[in-house]
A and B are shown apart, each in its own frame.
Chain A
Amino acid sequence: MSESNYSKEKKVGEGTYAVVYLGKQISTGNEIAVKEIKTSEFKDGLDMSAIREVKYLQELDHPNVINLIDIFMAYDNLNLVLEFLPTDLEVVIKDKNILFTPADIKSWMLMTLRGVYHVHRNFILHRDLKPNNLLISPEGLIKVADFGLARAVPGPREMLTSNVVTRWYRAPELLFGAKHYTYAVDVWSIGVIFAELMLRIPYLPGQDDMNQMEVTFRALGTPTDKDWPEVSSFAGYNKLQIYPPPSRDELRKRFIAATESALTLMENMLMMNPQTRWDTIQCLESEYFKELPAPTDPAEINIFAQKA
């Protein structure tokens, strides 16, 4: 028996299956977040997202992945205790009072890729990477969060749903409705996030699922059987407008501040064919992370609004 260890002090958010509170871990005084899972309101019982979240976070322990500290039942409600993370990359990108440098972007990319690499090497697909799910700790560390859509890498005969990942960050194989896909869907999302960090506006903001294809292929070229064998066998391929892939010069014009190796990394993360798209190891070993400027020390990145 011990004393109650957690206090819920302030409600900070409410999602479809949970309410999030800020609180304190009384034994240590540390700030924490408590996610109270709504249990009774779903007709199929305990929500699958809640199960996935716990299931995968229990497998993972990494500085760039959110830490699940504890689970408790109180008043017949299930509560998850997570580390407290005050902000996220979406907030930072949108807040025009915050200035950040190419070295800061490199630091965030590095941390994100390290976190996702760890997720992947534990045979887990995240399936919902977006700036909003890349939380930032008080020390400036990126933490991959929200494993509500995650799942273990499927066996060869298992079918997956392609209805995953928030639309703007959805890889082309998902847009085509693929029933089998790989870690490459997460890499695509990170590629789009990379572009968004450089542009400071969403890179591929489709208005609906059809429009997302249009927007994606207009920006990056429509895939053909030549570079993605049998892509034309996906249903709906024939209705597509064929756009040529952008030339290096066109990319340079769009991403003015990007170095050549930054563009190379981005291009390879946004490769249409998931087979040839880089994996997280190739990304982490790319020239971009070796050349100057060196990534900023996370603690040095000032993400709180600055007066311009």
Chain B
Amino acid sequence: MSSSFEADLTLSRPYLTRKQITRAQKNTVSDLRSYSQKKLVIIKYLSDMCVQLKLPRKTLETSIYYYERYHLFNCFETELIYLLATSCLVLSCKQTETLKKMNDICQVSYKVRKINTVTLDMMETFKKRICQSELRILEACSFDYRVNNFLHTDEYIVKIGKKMGFERRICHLAWLIGYDILKSDILLIVPPHSIAIAVLKISFELFKNHCSENMNWFDVKYSDFETTAKLVNEAYFEIINFYINSFDICDLSSNVPKDYPHIGIESFIKLKQKAGRQKGSIEVSNDDIERDLYLTNMRSMNVRERRYVLSAKLVVDEFTSIRDSSSA
């Protein structure tokens, strides 16, 4: 009863470079400006939802990753963003083991959006459509549940900060920065533990001139934390650039306690000047990007069998076996 038809085989690539993201968005986002504006609205919406539902930062972070990831491979449609974001939150609750009933999430969603008259029909349709989007979101992530499973930026800021022996205020400031960066694209580029280290580095440097900390940042061995200087640098510059370019949309200045050093846009410009040119970027060449079907091809949901694997070896083995059998 075996059948033969066309199928897609996709190797999971949970993190992409800045240029790769731009290339993928070329297919899905026609108006980048509107996408960015709406993203801020959605992050506000998801943050409000998480506060109302008493969900931790990791659930918020995961839902934002899903939202951004979805739009790398699926068209951005302004009228669907709330539905999609809610679906991302539902999924993220499951992924991070912070379960909430779908009904509760939907009710809070209406409340947060200040929609007061909700009929039973509306609710049912909303729930149904949330379920329909779930699998689409997971497909955009290649069903790679390793991402956002054990690692979450906020938790690792605390853990790594403690391991490095930083004082509480440095970790707290890093944790505040950790919220702002959800608005950048960094979640798509670098894994959370590397982001956590970069954020700690920034917080450490912002404090450095104001306290008697003896420790030098460069004593930190990145391999102890299963990351590399390249990745941490990538996150470091991405975040600094984000603050320099978008300081006015950040929540940092309104949340930093009074006894902390003053932090303004100039603080980040200064950090950038001190750091010099960005070394060891993870970026790839334009040619390679244009040759990369993963980014240039729109996903077709019409392919009957769409397979997702995590192991590169499986893809290579299968490629070799198909090539051998067709040449035989």
Contacts and interface: CB of A to CB of B under 8 A. Distances in A.
A44 B8 contact: no
A4 B143 contact: no
Nearest to A10: B1
Nearest to B99: A48
A72 B99 CA distance: 25
Interface in B120-135: 127, 130-131, 134-135
A4 B134 contact: no
A43 B102 contact: yes
Interface range on chain B: under 10, 10 to 19, 20 to 34, or 35 or more?
A: 35 or more
B108 to A, nearest CB: 15
B4 interface: yes
Contacts of A8: 1
22 contacts: A1-B7, A2-B7, A4-B6, A9-B1, A24-B2, A26-B2, A27-B321, A27-B322, A43-B102, A44-B90, A45-B90, A45-B134, A48-B94, A54-B145, A58-B310, A73-B135, A73-B305, A73-B306, A73-B307, A123-B150, A152-B150, A154-B97
A264 to B, nearest CB: 35
Nearest to A75: B304
Interface string B102-122: 100000000000000000000
Contacts of B233: none
A51 B135 contact: no
Nearest to A44: B102
A45 B131 contact: yes
A155 B158 CA distance: 13
A9 B138 CA distance: 27
A2 B3 contact: no
Contacts of B222: none
Interface string A22-37: 0010111000000000
A78 B139 CA distance: 10
A71 B307 contact: yes
A46 B145 contact: no
Nearest to B131: A45
A70 to B, nearest CB: 5
Given A39-B135, A51-B145, A5 B307 contact: yes
B4 A72 contact: no
Q: Is the interface of B mostly helix, strand, loop or mixed?
A: mixed
Interface in A52-81: 54-55, 58-59, 69-76, 78
Nearest to B320: A27
A247 interface: no
A82 to B, nearest CB: 14
Contacts of B62: none
Contacts of A74: 304-306
A40 interface: yes
Residue from B99, B127, B305 with most neighbouring chain A CB atoms (10 Å): B305
A55 B304 contact: no
Given A55-B95, A73-B306, A45 B102 contact: yes
Interface of A: 1-9, 24, 26-28, 39-40, 42-46, 48, 51, 54-55, 58-59, 69-76, 78, 123, 151-152, 154-155, 158
B308 A5 contact: no
Interface string B131-159: 10011001100011110011000010000
B91 interface: yes
A4 B1 contact: no
A70 B307 contact: yes
Given A78-B135, A152-B97, A71 B322 contact: no
A54 B322 contact: no
Contact of B1 (A7, A42, A152): A7
A247 to B, nearest CB: 42
B2 A58 contact: no
B94 A46 contact: yes
B145 A55 contact: yes
Contacts of A72: 7, 305-308
Given A46-B135, A54-B145, A55-B149, A70 B94 contact: no
A124 to B, nearest CB: 9
Contacts of A6: 305
B309 A70 contact: yes
Given A24-B2, A70-B307, A72-B306, 11 more contacts: A3-B5, A4-B3, A5-B7, A5-B318, A27-B321, A42-B131, A58-B144, A59-B149, A70-B314, A152-B149, A154-B97
A26 B7 CA distance: 13
B313 to A, nearest CB: 12
Contacts of A55: 95, 145, 149
B91 to A, nearest CB: 7
Contacts of A44: 90, 101-102
Interface in B265-323: 304-310, 314, 317-319, 321-322
B164 interface: no
Given A4-B305, A7-B1, A123-B150, A151 B94 contact: no
A26 B95 CA distance: 32
Contacts of B155: 155
B51 interface: no
A51 B94 contact: yes
Which of A2, A39, A70, A73 counts the most chain B CB atoms within 10 A?
Answer: A73
B215 interface: no
Contacts of A27: 317-318, 321-322
Contact of A3 (B4, B134, B146): B4
